[in-house]
Chains A and B, each alone.
Chain A
Amino acid sequence: MSLTKVNATAATLTKNRTEGSISSISGMCVTCVDGCIGMCEIGKSAYRGTEVIYPQPFGIITAASEKDYPIDLSHFNILGTAVGAHGIEADSNVAIFPNVDLEVRIGKKKDIKLRLPFIIPGLGSTAVAKSNWDGLAIGAAMSGIPLTIGENVCGMDPQSTIEDGKVVDSPELASRIKMYRDWQTDGYGDIILQANVEDTVLGVQEYGLEKLGVETVELKWGQGAKNIGGEVKLNSLERAKLLKSRGYVVLPDPTDPDVVDAYNAGSFHEFERHSRVGMVTEEGFMKRVEELRNAGAKHVFLKTGAYRPADLARAVKYASKAELDLLTVDGAGGGTGMSPWRMMNEWGIPQVEIYSLLYRYIKKLEDRGEFVPDVAVAGGLTMEDHIYKALALGAPYFKIAGMARGPLAAAMVGKTIGRKINEGKVPVYISRFGNKVDEIFITAPQLKKTYKGRFGDIPPRSYWSIYIFPEACTGPAPAYDR
């Protein structure tokens, strides 16, 4: 039995002609007929070429694998018990769910405070991340959880100033950081600045550390969605030329006169911007960590993707040797941006397997008396039971859960509903709750109470924060403790 679907998926806006009669091996219609207009991936590739590699439409979607992995977190159940209580008096009047403490401290010195055991691990230059940044940043800051600024933000910022190959000003990056900091309270959470190959060449982290008040930086080896660097689409020739001039791989080549002619003639409408793959060495890694600390980094993180076990072992060992503050491991699954669809499905070590290997490797460190970095795991975690199971799978080493698509989905929904309210066009599905912000968003009264005069500055796209996160400890229907 096949674990995967081939040649037709909502992700690439493709379908078979003979739906219901598909060759399971090839994914092709059982009868592929001369005269078909080509709605499947093969057919569409005949006239749209490499465009069909990616989930569509770019810029307003996030995407994730639809492969049926042999094992996932549903293969585990959480066990309750009828006796006792840990961390509180074993008294039925005291051991009640609002008294569960979900705060956690991470880092080598345990000096990064989180109200909840979550992190949003890396939203970078993709259009969907950019257009929802305020919702994510304000929501994460209000929740007291860290937010990671992903790769290529400065390189993609048209207003960036680059001198002698180094970024010296990026309004986009500065704005992303400020938005989070403005809503950060009591020192909870943190804003983390990630870097890939191009960011490192541009000196993005040094710029953030020295000029924008960044204290925590992250080295990025990869992500779960793909075993390569970040990619986005560029919708103008000018953007394509700018990005190429800043050192990115841009395809097709926007400086080629034939390509320019084809673009102007309407043969294609978007360029692709690709990032380079890293060349990890232990010496280079240790040197870079030292450079970042010397540049003022108080905390250094590493994020790696669902590469082969030897690479996971490298990540674990290097993170230990460098005494990093957090190691994030992303299992094969999905992404917030533009990853090749087949790669998202057919590459990498799946979630449960990579978490299990990670546990073994980390335990080995502890057994040998070596430094054990705090660990975050990501990759398809959305529900409260997912989080509990993931933390339990790697206990006591897995400290927090990384989630991006879930919070982003909530932010996008909040944004859409907020816009509909402003337009006076609340959809029927929503209008049963009312037509105003206070009536529709169940979190609004609490946000008003907490933020008083600042409430009006909170966009509805940020209301998700107390629904998904802080209510987990105090509300009647906690996300973490239902």
Chain B
Amino acid sequence: MTGNRKFALKYIERSDITAITKEAAEVSGIDYVMDLDKDEVENIMNS
């Protein structure tokens, strides 16, 4: 949990994992890996 900087269980979120297949993303509602962090990436790249 140190790797994703969560130091207690209550901080675990759905966004801590990513679906690496589209089928898994569709079934679970977990974000597909290529769609992650889009807004944040845009902000970083435009900064």
Say whether A and B bind each other. Answer: yes
A353 touches B15 (CB 8 A): no
Within 8 A of B (CB), among A454-482: 480-481
Map CB proximity to A onto B1-40 as digits: 1 under 8 Å, 0 otherwise.
Answer: 1111111111111111111110110011110010010000
B37 to A: closest C-beta gap in Å: 9
Q: Closest residue to A85 on the B side, CB-wise? A: B5
Instruction: Flag whether A263 is at the interface (Cβ < 8 A).
Output: no
Task: Name A395's contact: one of B16, B19, B20 (CB within 8 Å).
Answer: B16
Residues of B within 8 A of A78 (CB): 3-4, 16-17
- B10 CB to nearest A CB, Å: 7
**Docked complex Cα distance between A433 and B16 (Å):** 38
Residues from chain B with a CB closer than 8 A to the CB of A391 are: 9, 12
- For B29, give the chain A residue with the smallest CB separation: A356
Question: Inside 8 A of A79's CB, which chain B residues have their CB?
Answer: 4, 15-18, 36
Would B17 and A71 count as touching, CB distance under 8 A? Answer: no
Task: Name, among A70, A79, A85, A96, the residue most crowded by chain B CB atoms within 10 Å (CB to CB).
Answer: A79
A90–B5 alpha-carbon span in the complex (Å): 9
Cα A96 to Cα B3 with chains together (Å): 10
Residues of chain A within 8 A (CB-CB) of B6 are 86-87, 100
Q: Kindly state the separation between the CA atoms of A273 and B6 in the bound complex, as whole angstroms.
A: 47
The distance in angstroms between the C-alpha atoms of A78 and B10, with both chains bound, is 16
Bits for A80-105, please: 1 = Cβ < 8 Å to B, else 0.
11011111101000011101111110
Given the complex of chains A and B, what is the CA–CA distance between A391 and B20 in angstroms? Answer: 18
A392 interface contact, C-beta 8 A: yes
Q: Of A77, A87, A97, A101, which one neighbours B18 at CB under 8 angstroms?
A: A77
Query: Are the C-beta atoms of B2 and A392 separated by less than 8 Å?
Result: no
Q: A86-B11, A352-B24, A352-B28 are in contact. Are A481 and B1 (CB under 8 A)?
A: yes
Query: Is A305 in contact with chain B by the CB < 8 A criterion?
Result: no
- Do A359 and B29 touch (CB < 8 A)? yes
5 cross-chain pairs, A with B, having the tightest CB-CB distances, nearest first: A75-B24, A87-B7, A88-B7, A86-B11, A80-B3
Q: Which residues of B contact A (CB under 8 A)?
A: 1-21, 23-24, 27-30, 33, 36
17 A-B pairs with C-beta separation under 8 A: A75-B21, A75-B23, A77-B20, A86-B7, A100-B2, A100-B6, A102-B9, A103-B9, A352-B28, A388-B16, A392-B13, A392-B16, A393-B30, A395-B13, A396-B12, A396-B13, A480-B1
